[in-house]
Amino acid sequence: MTPAERPTARGTGVAAAGASLAIVATLVGMQYWLLTAALEASMAGEAGVALPAFLASGAILAMAAGLVWTIERIQRAS
Amino acid sequence: VSHRDETPKWREDFPYDAGEDEAVTRRDLTRFLLVAGTGLAAGSGWVWARSRMRGERAWPAVDVCGEGEIAPGASRGFEFAGEPALLVRRPAGELVAFQRKCTHLACPVTYRPAGDEGGEALVCHCHHGRFDVGTGRGLAGPPRSLRPLRRIQLERRDGRIVAIGLVPRGEVVG
C-alpha cells in the first residue's frame, strides 16, 4: 500500500462514525418494533409479551451504548 | 481595543474544522439516536409496568334502550366507559355490544347485517376491515392481525338493556 492509498485518520473516523450510525439506527428500529409489538399485545390482553420485550429493548440499548462508547474511545485514542 | 487574542464569535458557533464536519454530524446523530433508544426502552418498561397493574375499573352502568326498541338485524350507538360503543341485535335475537373504535386506526365500525355483501359483520369503512359480530375478532383487512374489539357486558333490567362493564382483555366471549 503506497502512502497515497493508505486511509487517512480523518477518513477512517468518518467511516467509523458512519458504520456506528448505521448499526445504532438499526438497533433503535428494532427497539421501536419491540415497543409497538409489546403495546399491541398488552392491549390485546397478552401480558406475557411485555417483560421479554422490555428486557430485549434494554439489552439492545446496552449494545448500542457500548458500541458508541467503544468507537468514541478508539477515536479519541488515535 | 484589540480582539486578536480572543476567540472569534463564529468559532463558538462552529467549534470544529470543516474537515471534521462529517464525522461530527454523524456522531451527533448517533448520540441523538441513543437518546431516542433510551426513550423507547423506557416506553417498553412502561408497557410492562402497565400490564402488571391490570385491573378492570368499574364503570357506571348505562341504560342503552328498551328491549323492544332494537329490532333483529339492527344496531344502536351509545357511549360507555368514555368511548363510543355499538349495541347489535343479531338476526337470531342475540344482543351483543362492542367498543366502536376500530383497533387499526380508531375509525368507527358499523354493523352490517346478514344478507348484505360479505355477510354479517362489524365493518370499518376506512380500510375495509371486518370483525366477527360474535367475538369481535378481526376477520379481514388490517384488523385481522390486530387485537379484537373490546366487548361490553350487557344485562336486562326491567325490560331495558343496560351496559354494565367491559369484558376483560384477552377474554373472548362466544
Which residues of chain A neighbour B168 with C-beta distances below 8 Å?
45
| ipTM for the assembly | 0.85
Check B45 against A54: CB less than 8 A apart. Answer: yes
pTM of the model: 0.67
Check B169 against A50: CB less than 8 A apart. Answer: no
**A22 Cβ under 8 Å from any chain B Cβ:** no
Main-chain phi, psi angles of B110, to 5 degrees: -125, 160
Q: Which residues of B106-132 are buried (b: 16+ CB within 10 A; e: fewer)?
A: eeebebbbeeeeeebbbbbeeeebbbb
Could you tell me which chain B residue has the CA closest to the CA of A50?
Answer: B48
For residue A11, the surrounding DSSP H or E stretch is helix A9-43
pLDDT tens by residue, B88-136? 999 999 999 999 999 999 999 999 987 656 789 999 999 999 999 999 9
pLDDT tens by residue, B133-153? 999 999 999 998 888 999 999
Nine-digit cell string for B28: 451527533
Contacts of B104 (CB under 8 A, 6+ apart): B124, B126, B127, B129, B141, B142, B143, B146
In whole angstroms, give the CA distance from residue B11 to residue B13. 5
Check B41 against A61: CB less than 8 A apart. Answer: yes
Check B44 against A10: CB less than 8 A apart. Answer: no
